[in-house]
Amino acid sequence: MFYKTRGYIGDPVSTLLTSGCEFDDIAAMWALLVLATIVFCYLLLYYVAFKGTRNFSPVMLTGKTVIVTGGNAGIGKATAVELAKRGARVILACRNKEKAEAAVFDIRQETGNSQIVFMHLDLASLKSVRSFVDTFLKSEPRLDILINNAGHMGPGRTQEGFGMALGVNHLGHFLLTNLLLERMRRCGAARVVNVASLLHRLGTVDFSLLASHKDLVSGQSTWQDFRAYCSSKLCNLLFTRELANRLEGSEVTCYSLHPGVINTQLCRNMSWWLRALQMPFAKLFFLDPEGGAQCTLHCALQEGIEALSGRFFSNCAVQQVARGGRDDAMARKLWEVSERLTHMA
């Protein structure tokens, strides 16, 4: 009796097995709780902070012509696909002929639209910009939408010696737009869409640096490259603002936008360790190119936003910009400096 009682209430093996089972159950329950919490936080962050609004405009573009710079990949290609589906004649203005021709083939196959054309454009060369415009004006009778989508983040200098972010993201598009404006005015209700970024909030425009270094920053490093990109996006906003002022009274309108946090090839020129560092976040949180194209499509297609010309959009809605992006005097000065730098003045 003694041993039975002792074995029943105090047998060390039974106690260990029982307590082990209870421990495993509790551990499994906590693991499931932690996993559920992580999934919930991920979904909350993704849908609130990262997932963008979709564009549902029914507008068709049959008989219209659109230029998309950098239209061979990423957001540019996704934008071109959607415009082609709506019947537009789409000009892919790209630097790399092989990649652009492959994109032309892909878009034609996907959309059934044969009116997809590649024209060579290297925004890091003002000579190339002028050559592109000459070719376009000789071969295309109209231009209804100009989408300045191409962007660069990384080191290097343009053909004229400008910092790459300044030259590609701002000056190249500035010259391109101005040389095409007259053709757009002839088409009546035309639009210019400039793909900018919320990172403009971290940007500055130092006109003394523009004069002395032909750049928006004073040196070359990963941090300086990032700062130059942010400042070039501020230039995009200021350019759009001043362009709207100069187009007032015409039927041509213009808009700048933040496409969202996108998993594209924009950072391909950054150091390998920074690309490796951002890769897990890109896979988990960043929008795909189709998602990133939605705000561009909204600005290009949405009816009734003409009165908002010059404004900045994000998530397919007007957004407030940083104070520097609302400075009309700075926008006017940047325009005048850009005219001199691109030899338009």
3-state helix/strand/coil string of 78-90: HHHHHHHHCCCEE
Token pair belonging to 94: 């790209």
Strand 312-314 and strand 317-318: the pairing is antiparallel
Catalytic, out of 3, 46, 47, 229? 229
Query: From the CB of residue 278, how many other CB atoms can be counted at a distance below 10 Å?
Result: 14
Q: Which residues contact 50 (CB under 8 A, 6 or more apart)?
A: 260, 261, 285, 286, 287
What one-letter code names the amino acid at 217? Answer: V
> Rounded CA gap, 65 and 270, in Å?
34
> Rounded CA gap, 296 and 315, in Å?
10
> Rounded CA gap, 243 and 253, in Å?
9
Tell me, yes or no, if 255 is annotated catalytic.
no
CA angle 227, 310, 264 (to 5 degrees): 45
CA-to-CA separations, 330 to 11, 164, 166, 241, 309, in angstroms, rounded: 84, 22, 16, 10, 18
Write the DSSP string, 196-228.
Answer: --GGGGG----HHHHHHHSSSSSS-SHHHHHHH
> Rounded CA gap, 64 and 195, in Å?
21
> Rounded CA gap, 310 and 257, in Å?
10
Q: Whose CA is closest to 301, among 253, 229, 342?
A: 253
Q: What are phi and psi of 342, to 5 degrees?
A: -95, 5
Query: What residues are labeled active site?
Result: 229
